[in-house]
Amino acid sequence: MCGIVGYVGRAKAAPILLDGLRRLEYRGYDSAGLAVVNGRHELQTRKCAGRIAALAKLMVKKPVSGSFGVSHTRWATHGKVTNENAHPHFDASGKLALVHNGVIENYQTLREELISGGDTNFRSETDTEVLAHLIGKLYDESCATTVDTPQKKAHMLEAVRAALQRVIGTYGIALIHSDVPEFMIGARRGSPLVLGVGKGENFLASDVSAIVAYTRDAVYLNDFDVVAVDREKFEISSLAGETGDHQVSKVEFTAEDIKKGDYAHYMLKEIFEQPGTVRDAMRGRLSPEECTARLGGLNMTPPQLRDVGRIILTGCGTALHAGRVGEYLIEALANIPTEVEYASEFRHRNTPLTRETLVFTISQSGETADTLGALRESRRKGFRTLGICNNVASTIARESDGGVYMHAGPEIGVAATKSFTSQVVILTLIGLLFGRMRTLSTAEGSRIIESLEALPEQIETVLKLSDQIKEIAKKYADVTGMLFFGRQFNFPIALEGALKMKEITYLFAEGHPSAELKHGIIALIRPDLPSVFIAPDDGVFSKNLNNIEQVKARKGPVIALTSGNGASQLKTLANEIVTLPEAPDCVMPVLSVIPLQLLAYHLAVELRRDVDKPRNLAKSVTVE
């Protein structure tokens, strides 16, 4: 949510900043801007409402020069989407430019204080501008007579620290000042910020994908870190001014990995990556000899694992839906009472937790503010809290007591796809591990391992259904919405199918347990509102069949996903039948979700939606 890129080096800053913004556009895309200082100490700014492409156009008309600058792509929180509200924002002197990700909660108080001190030069409605003014004021007060550059840098750093100490809220920031050449400051609290370490050049970014084309050496900043960045060096200190050690890590992926290749959209690429990503989620984690899973990252001894008596799974959006599959999985395989909580609710409510409770936070990005809040609340209460994350260096991954990485590679499409199937596979591994320490026999463990190992090939088979699903999407392109139904392991898949549909087609969509149809939803059934049933040939197939009959009796079109003998029984009932490979109940969700990802995708393309950047959404929601 909101992307930040900063550069200080020898190269022209503007193309690097624009390139970085393009790679971060999935984080926010309602407006964009940059500020670069030229050799005459002039701050040149270009910003506009709209996509990065609009900013790039503006830059062609009105180019800027200079080798240090900051830039931003916005997802609005405070203030409308206008040119004025786009970042960077400036201090009262107009010499300091600041970009910000997060929310300054006490900005009204700070703004009133600045106004009563005589500052009337506010140009936007944003919380960010208030921070820029505060830092600028503190800097100007301390630096009035300073001419020497090292001293100016020291004053600037002090001003940033002093201002941030007054801030309530969250921030990842990068700023420059036209009087302080080749110098940039970054700081974070609650919003991610990473320093890219180059040769004779350094970078700041809210996500390494922005800078991985230039350097793979990165320092992931911690909350309350402030970093002063020159061309040749950087220094990280705390808000209180203490310096400490920081590790330079190698970024796991390359710029190649975040290219779209021949695919029309990142989402489609990521859907088709699933045979590989599912394999990577299990790699080295299956033990066919002991018929169990090996998950060393949990950092728990066998007695500690055995003592777990209750599990809470928490997350947001798609990650929460994976958790809902996990609830069925863990209870079925390990017989441990498992609950799923919205992270945003869990963090504020007083969920009674018993001594033997284990909490898992699930998050692709590892930066979602509510999920991070849930993690912190759980740890504050003294509970062991583990993460299931994709982004290795993310805040959630770093603050957890242990966890399991997805290793799914960067996910760029705003609608999560491959991360979901990886999360479900990892939750199956967790169920298997706990199950084998309790009631699951070697034979059952072995069967689960075989079904998991068969998944990548079965996913290849499901992906071959893409053309059939595209035809279905074309046929139903003028519907007013879609309902999704499933039972047991496939009830959460109905929720996820509806979420995908809403996110990228903007059609009305809801997911429900099939049996709930009778309790209200049936009133909605009509010919222009198809029902998608996830009804594999399993123990509840006949129950799903009843519900399908109920929809058909009311002239509702039915799209059915089924397997095995299901197709022959549905022949006269369903308008469309999509046949999945046969698989045991516990791994079926990994297969059954894929046609729904494809259905949403093809329908969105048919409706000419912006698949990778759906309106109003952001990939990683780092505000509450």
Catalytic residues: 2, 619
- Which among 67, 21, 34, 15 has a CA at the least distance from the CA of 183? 67
With contact defined as beta carbons under 8 Å apart, do 445 and 435 qualify?
Answer: yes
**The one among 45, 126, 364, 562 contacting ligand G6P by CB under 6 A:** 364
- DSSP strands (E only) in 390-462: 402-405
Task: State the nearest-atom distance from the C-beta of 604 to ligand G6P, in Å.
Answer: 14
| Helices 442-463 and 588-606, packing angle to 10 deg | 20
Instruction: Tell me if 317 contacts ligand G6P by CB under 6 A.
Output: yes
Instruction: Tell me if 363 contacts ligand G6P by CB under 6 A.
Output: yes
Q: By C-beta, is 202 or 368 nearer to ligand G6P?
A: 368
Q: By C-beta, is 280 or 576 nearer to ligand G6P?
A: 280
With CB under 6 A as the rule, give the number of residues binding ligand G6P: 17
Instruction: Tell me if 416 contacts ligand G6P by CB under 6 A.
Output: yes
Please give the residue whose beta carbon sits closest to ligand G6P in the complex: 317
Residues 6 or more apart whose CB falls under 8 angstroms from that of 476 comprise 482, 530, 557, 559, 603
Per CB under 6 A, contacts with ligand G6P among 540-569 are: none
- Which among 425, 497, 498 has a CA at the least distance from the CA of 459? 425
Task: State the nearest-atom distance from the C-beta of 78 to ligand G6P, in Å.
Answer: 19
Distances (CA, A) of 93 to 121, 138, 157: 9, 12, 18
**The one among 274, 314, 371, 385 contacting ligand G6P by CB under 6 A:** 371
- Which among 110, 147, 145, 150 has a CA at the least distance from the CA of 131? 110
Instruction: Tell me if 368 contacts ligand G6P by CB under 6 A.
Output: yes
Instruction: Tell me if 365 contacts ligand G6P by CB under 6 A.
Output: yes
Task: State the nearest-atom distance from the C-beta of 499 to ligand G6P, in Å.
Answer: 8
**The one among 88, 620, 622, 623 contacting ligand G6P by CB under 6 A:** 620
- Which among 338, 358, 345 has a CA at the least distance from the CA of 404? 358
Instruction: Tell me if 414 contacts ligand G6P by CB under 6 A.
Output: yes
Instruction: Tell me if 319 contacts ligand G6P by CB under 6 A.
Output: yes
Q: By C-beta, is 51 or 133 nearer to ligand G6P?
A: 51
**The one among 286, 336, 586, 621 contacting ligand G6P by CB under 6 A:** 621
- Which among 441, 442, 423 has a CA at the least distance from the CA of 329? 423
Instruction: Tell me if 316 contacts ligand G6P by CB under 6 A.
Output: yes
Task: State the nearest-atom distance from the C-beta of 274 to ligand G6P, in Å.
Answer: 16
Q: By C-beta, is 207 or 223 nearer to ligand G6P?
A: 207
Is 74 in a helix, a strand, or coil?
A: strand
Per CB under 6 A, contacts with ligand G6P among 144-173 are: none
DSSP-assigned beta bridge partners for residue 580: 563
DSSP secondary structure code for residue 169 in this structure: B
Query: In angstroms, rounded to a whole number, what is the distance separating the alpha carbons of residues 492 and 589?
Result: 8
**Binding piece for ligand G6P, criterion CB under 6 A, among 94-102, 269-277, 361-369, 451-459:** 361-369
With contact defined as beta carbons under 8 Å apart, do 586 and 489 qualify?
Answer: yes
Task: State the nearest-atom distance from the C-beta of 319 to ligand G6P, in Å.
Answer: 4
**Count of positions (residues) in the chain:** 624
184-189 and 171-177 as β-strands: parallel, antiparallel, unpaired? Answer: antiparallel
Instruction: Tell me if 344 contacts ligand G6P by CB under 6 A.
Output: no
Task: State the nearest-atom distance from the C-beta of 506 to ligand G6P, in Å.
Answer: 14
Buried b (16+ CB within 10 A) or exposed e, 255-264: eeebeeeeee
How many degrees, rounded to 5, is the angle at CA 58 between CA 56 and CA 63?
90
Query: In angstroms, rounded to a whole number, what is the distance separating the alpha carbons of residues 457 and 396?
Result: 32
Task: State the nearest-atom distance from the C-beta of 28 to ligand G6P, in Å.
Answer: 11
**Binding piece for ligand G6P, criterion CB under 6 A, among 18-26, 103-111, 284-292, 414-422:** 414-422
User: Which residues lie near ligand G6P (CB under 6 A)?
Assistant: 315-319, 363-365, 368, 371, 414-416, 617, 619-621
